[in-house]
Structure 1
Amino acid sequence: LKPASSLPPSPRARARAAGPMEPTAKEARTEMPIGRKYNASLQQCMLRIKDPAVSVPFYEKNFGMKLIHRYDFPEFKFSLYFLEKTRDGQPLPDDIPSAASEKYLWTMPGCVLELTHNHGTENDENFKVWSGNQGKDLPTGSPLYMDGPNRGFGHIAFNMDDVEATSEALEKNGVKFQKRPNEGRMKGIAFALDPDGYWIELVPREKGLFKEPFNFSQVMMRVKDGPKTVEFYRDVMGMSLVREMVIPNDFTNFFLMNLSEKERGAAAEDQAQMPKRLWQPALELTFNHGTEKDDEFQVHTGNTDPQGFGHIGFIVDDLKAMCEELDKAGVPFFKRPDEGKMRGLAFVLDPSGYRVELIQRGMSIDPALLGKTA
C-alpha cells in the first residue's frame, strides 16, 4: 500500500481546494445505530425482470453468479430468483429450491441479486421494465430523456482486475454495452446491459486480491437529499460512510458499506479504497446538488409505473425488536412485520421513498403461500 503522504488528494480535498464546499454528510452520531445493534447487513437488491429463462442464465454465464434459492407464489402469480456471486469452493445446497437452500439464503453473510418475475410477462411483446436511467431530469436533448418520472435506481456493479479485457470478452459473448471502457469522459470503467436493459457497471479493483474473476460490488441509487440519506443509512441502519466523491457544482457520490469493527477502525484513506478491496458490495448514493431544495423534485423509486427496481434489503437478528426501535425513531413503514400474509419481513422507507426490506435472519416462508400443504 502507498503511504498516506503519497496518496493522491481525495475528491473531497480537491473540492476544498476548488472553492466553496458542496452539501456534505454531517459527522456520525455517537450512539450505536439501531441497525448495528441488530447486526443489519445489506443482503439484497431486487430487480423486476421480463423472463427468468433469459435473465438467470445471463448472470450465471457472464458474471459467474449462482442460483441459490427460488420461491414460486402461485396465488400471487410471481416467482423470486436469488443469485449470489460466491467464492470459489464455497459449499452450496444441492437442491434448489429446498429447505436447505432457504436456510442458506436467510443465514448467508453475503448479498444477493433478487430477480422478480411476474408470471406471463415473458409472453407479452409489449412488456418492458424501466432501468431507472431515463427521466425528465435530463436535458431534453439527451438520448435518455423521458417525459414522466425523474431518474432513480442507477445500476449494479461488478469489480474485476481488467475492465477492458472483460468488456471485450463479454461483447464477444453477445452482451450489449451502454458505454465501453474507452468511451465517454470516465475512462477505465464500462456499463454493460442485462437482458432487461439494467445497467451493470464494470469497475477495476485492486489486482491480486481475489482469484475469482468478479465480485458483486455496488448497488447505486439516485437520491433527493444526499446528506439526509447518508444519515439514514449510517446513523440508523449502521452502515459506514467509506468514501465521498464530490464533483463541485454538480453531484456527489457517497459510498456506504457494512464493515467489521476492525474495518471501521481503519484510516480514512484505507476506508476510501474498501469498495475496490472488499468482497461485499457498497451502497452508492448519487446526489445531484440542488435537488434537496426543490420541493417539486422526487426520485422515481421504481414501484409505480414505470416499474423496474424494487428495493434493497437488510438481514437482521431480531426483526420485531428492531422495527419497534425504528418506529420509535420515527422511521416511516411501508409494511410492518405483522402486516400482510408475508411474515418475517418488513419494509421501511428511506428519505427518498425507496423501500428498504428488513428480513429476520433464519426466517422461512409459510409453505401455504408456496402452494404446499403440510
Structure 2
Amino acid sequence: MLFSRLPATSVLAGNLASLRAATLRETATMSASDSNPYGMKWHRSMLRCKDPIASVKYYEERYGMKLVDVYHTPSLGKSNYYLASLRDGEAWPEAGSAEAHERLFDMQHSCVELEHEHGAESDPDLVYSSGNDEPHRGFGHLAFLTADVYKASEELEMAGVSFKKKPDEGRMKGLAFAYDPSGYWVELVKRNAEGGHQEKFNLGQTMLRVKDAEKSLEFYTGKGGMGMTKVCELHFDSFSLYFLQSLSSEEISSLPAPDSPDAYCRMGRSWKPVLELTHNHGTEGDPTFSYHNGNTNPKGFGFLGFIVDDLDGASECLKQTGAQEIGEPAIFEGKMRRFTDPDGYHVQLALRKTILE
C-alpha cells in the first residue's frame, strides 16, 4: 500500500516496477533453490495396463501422444512404455533405441508410463482399478487439454471411445471423461486459446485425491519435499483443488497469485502438465479414512516419478520428512529409489540421465 501513496510520475513508476520485479525474481530464485536443492523434477505418472498394444495405440491415435521409449525387462516379467505430448515438429529418436534411452530421464516433458506385466493381457479375470470406485478410490484421472471439448468428444466417440461423462452431462458442463482400454478415466479440459498451441491435444494433468491438503502440499512443495510449486488453487463448498508444477526459477518469478483468475488462465495455456491434488473437505479429520494407493489389490495406478541430480541426498531428505522407503529391484540399485507420500501413494526417484540397461 506504500507504493500507492508515492508520486505517480512515469519515471518513478517505472523504477518501482523494475525494483519490484527484481525483488520478486530474487525471492523466487531463493525460494526455488531452498525448496528444491536436489534438482527434483516431476517426470512421469505410471499406470499399469492390461494390453500394451491397445493402450499405446489408444494414446497415440486418440490424443496424439508419441511413444518416446520402451524397456523390456524379462527378469522382472514386465515391459514399460513411455508416452509424451510432443510439439509439432519436435524430433525424437526411435523408442527403444540407445538414443531414446539417453534422453528419457532428462526429458523436459512430463510423460505417462504404462507398465505391462507379461501375461496380463490373457488373464480374463484381471481388472485394474481406475481409482474412482469405492472402496478403492485414490488416483482420479489423466487429463488432456484441447481447444474444443465438445468437438473432440464427438470425434472420439465416433472413433469408438467410450465415455463416463460427455460435456453436457452432469453438473460440470464443458468437461468430459472418457475411458482408456484399461478402464482409467481420461478427462478432456478446454485449453486457453492464448497459449497459441496448434496441436489438437496435450497432456495436461494427473489427478490424485488427498486426505489432508496441508500435509500433501508440504510434501510436494515444501522444504525437503518434491520441489514442486503451487500454481493454482480453486475452492468449492465441499472440495478444493490444488495444481502443482515443476518449474524453473525463471518460471516461478513470473507466476500470478495461485488464487487469482490469472493463475487459472495461465494453467489453461501451459504446455507443462500439472499435478492436481483434490481434497474433499472433512477427510482430514477422520482417523479411519484412507485412499487406495493402487499398489495393493486391486492394483492400478503405480507411482509419480521424479528425476533428481542427487539420488542419495534427495532420498535422505525425504526420509527426514517421514516418508517411508519401499524397496526397488536390485537391478535399479544406484539409479532409482521409491518412497510413500502422506497418503501412501508411491513416489519414485530416478537419477537424472540414468539408463536402465
What is the match of residue 70 of structure 1? 70
What is the match of residue 340 of structure 1? 330
Cα deviation, 1:88-114, whole Å, max 9, x if unaligned, reads: 111111x33121111111111111110
Matched, 1:255 2:243: yes
Gaps of 5+ in 2: 1-27
- The 1:49/1:100 distance shift into structure 2, 3 A limit, reads same
TM-score by length of 1: 0.82
Matched, 1:242 2:231: yes
Deviation at 1:48, TM superposition (A): 0.5
Aligned residues of 2:306 and 2:347 also touching (Cα < 8 A): yes
* The structure with more helix, counted as a fraction of residues: 2
What is the match of residue 8 of structure 1? none
Deviation at 1:53, TM superposition (A): 1.2
Cα deviation, 1:97-137, whole Å, max 9, x if unaligned, reads: 1211111111111111100111111111221111000013x
Q: 1:225 aligns with which of 212, 224, 232?
A: 212
2:133, 2:348 → 1: CA distance? Answer: 25
2:249, 2:139 → 1: CA distance? Answer: 30
Structure 2 counterparts to residues 101-180 of structure 1, below 5 A: 101-136=100-135, 149=136, 151-180=137-166
Between 1:325-334 and 1:121-130, the stretch displaced more is: 325-334
Q: Secondary structure at the match of 1:262?
A: helix
What is the match of residue 100 of structure 1? 99
Sequence identity of aligned pairs in percent?
A: 44
2:299, 2:54 → 1: CA distance? Answer: 19
- The 1:312/1:34 distance shift into structure 2, 3 A limit, reads farther
- The 1:329/1:242 distance shift into structure 2, 3 A limit, reads same
Matched, 1:303 2:295: yes
1:312, 1:213 → 2: CA distance? Answer: 25
2:65, 2:139 → 1: CA distance? Answer: 21
Structure 2 counterparts to residues 1-374 of structure 1, below 5 A: 36-93=36-93, 95-136=94-135, 149=136, 151-208=137-194, 209-235=196-222, 236-248=225-237, 250-265=238-253, 266-268=255-257, 269=260, 270-335=262-327, 340-343=330-333, 344-365=335-356, 367=357
Q: Secondary structure at the match of 1:272?
A: helix
Aligned residues of 1:156 and 1:201 also touching (Cα < 8 A): yes
Q: Secondary structure at the match of 1:50?
A: coil
Instruction: Tell me the matched-pair count.
Output: 321
2:39, 2:265 → 1: CA distance? Answer: 23
1:233, 1:167 → 2: CA distance? Answer: 33
What RMSD, in angstroms, separates the aligned Cα atoms of the two structures? Answer: 1.8
1:33, 1:352 → 2: CA distance? Answer: 26
What is the match of residue 6 of structure 1? none
Q: Secondary structure at the match of 1:45?
A: strand
Q: Secondary structure at the match of 1:341?
A: helix
1:51, 1:271 → 2: CA distance? Answer: 38
2:117, 2:256 → 1: CA distance? Answer: 46
Cα deviation, 1:173-200, whole Å, max 9, x if unaligned, reads: 0011000001100001100110111000
Gaps of 5+ in 1: 1-27, 137-148, 368-374
1:67, 1:161 → 2: CA distance? Answer: 23
Cα deviation, 1:247-297, whole Å, max 9, x if unaligned, reads: 12x111111112232332322133333321210111001111111111111
